[in-house]
Amino acid sequence: MAEVLLEEMIQKINAITQSLDGTIAQLQNMNTSINSMSLRFSEEIVSLTENIRLIVEILKQFRVQSSKSINELSKEVGEKIEELWTKKSVEAILKQEKEAIDKIREGEKSVANNLYYAQLLSIIRSIREETNRILLSRK
């Protein structure tokens, strides 16, 4: 009878050992998966950081180019107005119309600044949404 009990205990211990071996194997698989996901997440963060850097660089270049275009247009309009003033054809223009020309010039500057800020805000929103999406997918 003692031999039977001993044999049963040995079998149960062997079953527990096999079960623990399976659990250890599952934990090792989970560890490998977590390490893989961590590596992919790190790569995605690096990629996102590089993309943000490129977007900022493109914005800088766009700002320079758009400033050049706006400056050229402003210069052209200024030259035309100067030409009108020098030809004395503006003598017939009333004081209100001179003020309107000044307001148009101010509006042109304001529109250029608003366009830049709107584009920058749009990029920032996109970056925020992408960051939130990545953080949410991480949870």
Mean pLDDT of 108-118: 75
Q: Alpha carbon of 124 to those of 27, 55, 56, 66, 129: distances in Å?
A: 41, 10, 10, 19, 9
pLDDT digits (tens, 9 = 90+) for 53-92: 888 887 777 777 766 677 777 788 778 777 766 666 556 6
Inter-residue contact 66 to 112 (CB < 8 Å): yes
Angle 52-57-61 from CA coordinates, rounded to 5°: 145
pLDDT digits (tens, 9 = 90+) for 13-43: 888 888 888 888 888 989 888 888 888 888 8
Q: Is 56 helix (H, G, I), strand (E, B) or coil?
A: helix
The beta-carbon contacts of 84-91 under 8 Å, at least 24 apart in sequence, are none
